[in-house]
Chains A and B, each alone.
Chain A
């Protein structure tokens, strides 16, 4: 059974940092693109970042470029999102997702981890 479990969220002050993790199981992690999507409280979905199977390609939402870094450790079946210089507008539930059929088709999602940035 495919499972994605996010962790690392919490309350942080504006300008602070957090590192989100996503533990994957039930599939060959190294074979899939992986994605972070966020959802601000009561709002819609927003794609944040995506990383290729071997980490050689990474894509970011413009508003997080230079502040967030997506990475992965295939030996540990884990996906990460290093978030620096956090802003109030980064407050959201952050989901980890597997891109299945191809890049952009997110077929499995975790339950999310909540990041709250206080100003």
Chain B
């Protein structure tokens, strides 16, 4: 199974600043035939289900603010939140969906306001 490792485990950023969360997969999730990275990012606020933010590593889900962006390829990926807002406080998860399941999640990164 592909192991997903996020860093850091927790992060405190000042309002208006940039937050960066990293995700590393134990093997490449880049499918060479279509040049797509099979990676999603989810946001989970306290007491709520996860919300899809990014898929194909960099495609923003409809309705997600453009301060959220995803980048990376192969085994190394980044979720960047520009101009952090108070409502961005949450736990963020990456997940790979390469080939067939199991589709493993990272352990999560808790984002707080400094």
Which A residues are closer than 8 A to B by beta carbons? 37, 44-47, 50, 59-62, 95, 100-107, 109-112
Contact = CB atoms under 8 A, between A and B. Distances in A.
B105 A59 contact: no
B95 A47 contact: yes
A102 B102 CA distance: 15
Given A47-B103, A106-B42, A112-B49, 19 more contacts: A37-B50, A44-B105, A45-B44, A45-B105, A45-B108, A47-B104, A50-B101, A103-B97, A104-B38, A104-B40, A104-B95, A104-B96, A104-B97, A104-B103, A105-B55, A106-B40, A107-B52, A109-B49, A109-B50
Contacts of B93: 44-45
Most buried by A among B1, B55, B61, B96: B55
A20 to B, nearest CB: 15
A45 B96 CA distance: 12
Interface residues of B, number: 25
Nearest to A59: B101
A46 B95 CA distance: 10
Q: 3 shortest A-B CB distances, which residue pairs?
A: A104-B97, A59-B101, A109-B49
Nearest to A108: B52
Interface of B: 1, 38, 40, 42, 44, 49-52, 55, 61, 91, 93, 95-97, 100-108
A107 B1 CA distance: 23
B49 A95 contact: yes
Contacts of A109: 49-51
Nearest to A58: B101
Contacts of B49: 95, 109-112
B105 A105 contact: no
10 contacts: A37-B50, A44-B106, A47-B95, A47-B101, A50-B101, A95-B49, A103-B101, A104-B95, A105-B40, A107-B61
Contacts of A104: 38, 40, 95-97, 101, 103
